[in-house]
Structures are given as C-alpha cells and as structure tokens.
C-alpha cells in the first residue's frame, strides 16, 4: 500500500544503521512444503466475508492456503495483529490450510507496528510477506531516491533476519518504485536475498514492458522470493488505454515464456494467486451467500486449473 513521506531520503538512515546484519547461523526461511510452487490466495477479494467462509472457498477450490492481508483495512489490522493473526492461523489449520504468506504495508523498520507484525507473523508460521509500495517523491533525483529507500530496506532485512521471515517488494505498474522493474535490481542488489527480495508480478511487468519484460525477469531472478500471478488485457476508457485484470488465460500474459523461463533457470517460489476481476454480475449480487460461494469456488477452480496446467506442462510440480 502507498506510503508518502517527505523525508523519504534521509529519515531512515539512523534506524537502519541500528539494525546491522549479523552473520547467518540458522537456515533461511522457506516453505516447509515439498512443492516447488505452493499456491496461496491473496485474500483481499474475500476479506469482507467471515474467515470460515474464506476457508471453505479455498478448501473447495483446491488452494492450499492464504496470502492474508495484514495491514490497515485488511483482514487483520496492525493494532490487532497479536490477537487476530495467530487465531486465524489456527482456524485455517482446522480446514487443512496454511497461513504462511501475508500482505503488509510495511516500508520502514521504525514504523509503529513493523516489528510487532513481523514477530507475531513469524511465530504464527508466516514465512513470506509482501511490503508496501514506496513512491518516487516529486522533485527528488531518481537514483538518490532509490539509495534513500535502500536504507529502509536494509533495516527491514535486519528485522527479517531477526525473526527468520522473508520480505518481498512487489513490482507494480505505475510510477512507484518497482514500476519500471529495472529499478528493483538497483534497490536490492546489495541486500541479503535470504531475507529481502522481490515478489515478481508478471502482469504488472508486462503492462510496463510489453516486449521487454522478459529482460527484467531475467535480471531479477536471483532476487525473486515469491510470484504474484494474474492476467490482463487492454481496454480504452475515456479515450485512454487501461490495463484491466481478467481471469488467467483470458488476457495477454505470455504464460509459456514466463513458466518456461522459471523452468530454465530452476526457480522455486511460493505463488500468490490474485483475483482482481469481479466475482459477480449485477444480477448475481443479490444471490444468497451459498450461491455466491458456489460462484466464487467455480472461478477459483478455473484459475487453479489453468495454473496447475502450466505448472505440469513445464514440470514445475
């Protein structure tokens, strides 16, 4: 999520310096599953429902667990993370699901809830999380801005090591840091990949680099610690082009090149499935909760079948 700080470049240097990297004496975090690409659901489109409903949707659709929103306005808000996150992890386990990924708004190590979230999440079994998105401040030199935020990332990496958890910065289309994708290499190249890296989003990468995205993917491969998957197509809205998210396989993402590259470079990473298209038509909005759940499950199964088909096609299971 967006954070806006005028002191973008200088504020964090002291805080980061206070959390130096120690030599690693324990294993880097990872998923305990034997799967190379365990699939989790980014929970945002289901957050309005109670957690048992969410678990039933995942169980019926064949998705193994959650990439849960733990951020302001999310399923778990930072103020309640110590109470709610462990409770939901236990509830998910009753359904045979895992809660080992989360989405946060974390951008700085010294923010009020950063350390509390990471400590609680690690104890609850979360191994991977997504950070928030940082902005390029107007009027600030781009390379200077990157170096400034790198101080923050160094501090976050130190906390990740402390709590044995792995953070990933998502590339996102637009003028954020990470929008061009290539800037993430400059941001991450000197940081420990065991604890801080990139959550690579092929949809956003292709929106910003329709033909050149594969170069950015190859550049970032050593830094990728999770993958976000969704599809898109272009539409004209009020005379301007707009990227619109659609179900997997109904858009423009070059899945063969994407999964073939992951295979060729022997990549393994957890996958977060993003459903950012509407669940229901206007008529379906008035359906009962049971009928709505059937529609949700059908759409999730369709996306999962597509994803599993490509994972099998490229021997990634």
Instruction: Output the domain CATH number for residue 127.
Output: 3.20.20.150
Is residue 268 domain-resident?
no
> Which pLDDT score, from 0 to 100, does residue 138 have?
84
What does pTM read for this prediction?
0.89
Is residue 289 domain-resident?
no
pLDDT beyond 60 at 28: no
What are the tens digits of pLDDT across the range 139-195? 889 999 999 899 999 999 999 999 999 999 999 999 999 999 999 999 999 999 999
Distances (CA, A) of 197 to 156, 191, 226, 279: 11, 8, 9, 31
C-alpha to C-alpha distance for 263 and 311, rounded to whole angstroms: 9
Which band of pLDDT confidence, cut at 50, 70 and 90, is reported for residue 218?
A: very high
pLDDT beyond 70 at 19: no
Is residue 46 domain-resident?
yes
Contact 170, 178 (CB under 8 A): yes
Is residue 317 domain-resident?
no
Please give the average per-residue pLDDT across 268-273, as a whole number: 97
What are the tens digits of pLDDT across the range 46-71? 999 999 999 999 999 999 999 999 99
Is residue 301 domain-resident?
no
Is residue 75 domain-resident?
yes
Is residue 292 domain-resident?
no
**Domain with 134 in it:** 2-12+27-227
Is residue 64 domain-resident?
yes
pLDDT beyond 50 at 35: yes
Q: Total structural domains in the chain?
A: 1
> Which pLDDT score, from 0 to 100, does residue 32 have?
38
What are the tens digits of pLDDT across the range 68-110? 999 999 999 999 999 999 999 999 999 999 999 999 999 999 9
């Amino acid at each position: 999520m967006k954070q806006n700080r005028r002191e973008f470049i200088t504020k964090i240097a002291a805080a980061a310096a206070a959390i130096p990297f120690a030599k690693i004496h324990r294993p880097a975090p990872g998923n305990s599953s034997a799967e190379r690409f365990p699939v989790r659901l980014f929970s945002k489109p289901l957050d309005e429902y109670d957690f048992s409903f969410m678990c039933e949707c995942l169980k019926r659709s064949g998705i193994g667990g959650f990439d849960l929103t733990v951020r302001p306005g999310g399923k778990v808000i930072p103020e309640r993370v110590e109470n709610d996150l462990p409770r939901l992890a236990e509830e998910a386990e009753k359904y045979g699901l895992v809660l080992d990924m989360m989405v946060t708004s974390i951008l700085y190590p010294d923010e009020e809830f950063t350390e509390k979230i990471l400590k609680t999440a690690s104890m609850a079994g979360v191994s991977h999380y997504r950070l928030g998105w940082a902005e390029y401040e107007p009027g600030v030199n781009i390379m200077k801005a990157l170096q400034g935020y790198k101080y923050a990332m160094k501090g976050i990496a130190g906390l990740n090591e402390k709590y044995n958890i792995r953070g990933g910065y998502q590339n996102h289309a637009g003028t954020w840091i990470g929008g061009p994708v290539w800037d993430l290499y400059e941001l991450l190249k000197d940081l420990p990949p065991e604890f801080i890296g990139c959550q690579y989003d092929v949809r956003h990468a292709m929106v910003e680099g329709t033909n050149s995205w594969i170069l950015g993917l190859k550049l970032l491969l050593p830094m990728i610690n999770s993958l976000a998957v969704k599809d898109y197509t272009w539409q004209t809205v009020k005379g301007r082009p707009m990227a619109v998210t659609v179900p997997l396989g109904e858009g423009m993402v070059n899945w063969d090149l994407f999964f073939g590259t992951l295979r060729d470079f022997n990549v393994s990473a957890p996958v977060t499935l993003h459903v950012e298209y509407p669940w229901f038509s206007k008529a379906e909005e008035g359906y009962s909760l049971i009928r709505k759940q059937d529609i949700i499950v059908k759409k999730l199964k369709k996306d999962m079948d597509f994803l599993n088909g490509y994972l099998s096609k490229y021997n990634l299971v």
